[in-house]
Chains A and B, each alone.
Chain A
């Protein structure tokens, strides 16, 4: 299958029906309201994070046992929550919604893809910050404890999903394939969670959402912790919106670039007629 043929095949399979290649379809527009919402969320995230950093590094007191090392609690569990629960959860739900016939729409696919990509970033943040926190606390840069290992496995699953998406295909085919992979990963996570937990554990017994954790943290520390969570969540949402938009634009370009290029090429030639080649002939 020549590159041109497969490219044409992709164009014809675009979700927005092109009337026999008569030119590009209307580009996806953004309402002023969505742009404003995004801006507001972005600003809030930025301000919130800055505030968290200020509070975390200077205002809050050091912990009785961990000393200054506790300050990472204002960011690390936050990014972990975003990566492991928010991003992954959203990707899972979106993928399922895409697979479910009644709610099938490329919107869910693009949302899942955006969620996974942003999730990878937060996941890396989790692992690196966890490692940095672990070195002075446990003495090692890495330990095969349950939660770290699960986070690492999740990262690899995310990366596999992204790698699969990079393979060129029609949007619907790619969406289905990715959704299945996401579904398999979702099913795997509880299994990995149990295996790795029985296998080893070094982390604090508390989970991110464990109320026991917040009991030991009170006053300004608790508020800073909450602010950290909220700010990071807002940051995730903002990144999600931008990344989603990127997905929409990329898909539109994939579908329409060729049509437009063909139209451009034809009109560059000696006017409309069969003698106009669609690719430059290799004349030096």
Chain B
């Protein structure tokens, strides 16, 4: 929409703009302050004479960083990233592919809703992790059962958001479109679908968060498959079993980063596909 010139900025100029951006600087500063407090807490074990309850027992950032610099050289660490990412994205993708049409169908058709909403609502409160034992039995491989549990984590949130979003589309938009001669198909494609898009992205953002929670727990419980590197969840678990506390923290921060990358990706896609709603 006439914003092509904006895209012509070089990458360097963009990076420069980012570094000089106040919000970015504030973000970096707050992380630095946090790390400093953590470091001090560990070094002195008390703040102003008061024993530091939690931070004092956790390895300092400098120790974690040192460990991390060793860990990044291990292929197993990156394999864990790769495995967890793969499980999250596949589970999430399948949840989107099934969940969005399912939610939309329930929103626009009362017979379909009457048929599928009650069982959906009964299954929904069952935590995805409660499915772990059953899914290990159901599915032929551990990999598939982890993915299934991951899928469940995102699926319910996606469906509920799509259903709610589609039903909340203002009836005035539908009437306006109908009074201008829109057919049922036009209404669905041009009104309900774009009207639901914000809810689809909210569902995706929340669902992605749940997916990470679920995949980690599933990996810990199942042992993460047959290979040595069984995902980030298994990485943390085996570090804990081996008593390598700083490596546990490396794993935790890795998950934080992975989750951040995933949700940034969703925000970016949302930003691109909803130009009228540049607020995410």
Q: Do A and B bind each other?
A: no
**Which B residues contact A (CB, under 8 angstroms)?**
none
